[in-house]
Amino acid sequence: MIDRLLESNKKFISDEFEPNSSHYSKIAAKQTPRAVWIGCADSRVSEDIITGSRPGTIFVHRNIANMVSFNDVGIAALLEYALVHLKIKDVIVCGHTRCGGIAALENGVKENYIADWLCVGSEAKTAADEIAQKQRLSPDEKLELLTMENVRVQLNHLKKLTLIRDMFQKGKTLRLHGWLYRVETGKIDVLIDGETGRESSVMRRFKKTSRKTTPAKSK
Ligand SMILES: [Zn+2]
Q: Which domain holds residue 67?
A: 37-207
Residues around ion ligand 1, judged by CB within 5 A, are: 40, 42, 99, 101
**Does residue 128 fall inside a structural domain?**
yes
The confidence score (pLDDT) of residue 87 equals 97
Q: Return the pLDDT at 36.
A: 98
Rounded CA-CA distance 62/64 in Å is 7
Q: Give pLDDT, residue 218.
A: 43
Q: Residue 209: what pLDDT?
A: 62
Distance separating the N- and C-terminal Cα atoms of the chain: 67
9 falls within a domain:
no
d(CA 219, CA 215): 12
The answer to the question of residue 68 being in a domain is yes
Question: What's the CA-to-centroid distance between 194 and ligand 1, angstroms?
Answer: 22
| Domain count along the chain | 1
Does residue 111 lie in a domain region? yes
Q: What is the pLDDT of residue 211?
A: 52
Q: 28 in a domain, yes or no?
A: no
Do 120 and 79 form a contact (C-beta atoms < 8 A)? no
CA distance 186 to 87: 29
Which of these, 78, 83, 67, lies nearest to 34 by C-alpha position?
83
Is 157 part of any domain? yes
**160 domain residue, yes or no:** yes
How many angstroms is it from 27 CA to the middle of ligand 1?
Answer: 29
Q: How far is the CA of 215 from the centre of ligand 1 (A)?
A: 37
Distance 88 CA to ligand 1 centre (A): 25
Rounded distance from Cα 97 to ligand 1 centre (Å)? 8
From ligand 1's centre to the CA of 213, what distance in Å?
Answer: 32
Ligand 1 center–CA 19 separation, angstroms? 34
Using the mean position of ligand 1's atoms as its centre, give its distance from the Cα of residue 103 in Å.
9
pLDDT value of residue 208: 75
Per-residue pLDDT of 112-141, as tens digits, reads 899 999 999 999 999 999 999 999 999 999
User: Cα(17) to centroid of ligand 1, in Å?
Assistant: 30
SS3 (DSSP) at 140: helix
User: Residue 42 C-alpha to ligand 1 middle, in angstroms?
Assistant: 5
Q: Is the Cβ–Cβ distance between 63 and 40 less than 8 Å?
A: yes
**Could you report the per-residue pLDDT of 179-190, keeping only the tens digit for each?**
999 999 999 999
- Phi first, then psi: what are they for 26, rounded to 5°? -65, -50
Residue 156 belongs to some domain of the structure: yes
Q: Give me the sign of the Cα torsion angle 17, 21, 26, 28.
A: positive
**Low-confidence stretches of the chain (pLDDT beneath 70):** 209-219
Q: How far apart are CA 160 and CA 75, in angstroms?
A: 13
CATH code of the domain covering residue 93: 3.40.1050.10
Query: Is 100 exposed, middle or buried, given 0-12, 13-18 or 19+ CB atoms closer than 10 A?
Result: middle
**Rounded distance from Cα 15 to ligand 1 centre (Å):** 30
Residues 6+ apart with CB under 8 A from 18: none
Burial (CB count <10 Å: 0-12, 13-18, 19+), residue 105: buried
CA angle 164, 194, 51 (to 5 degrees): 110
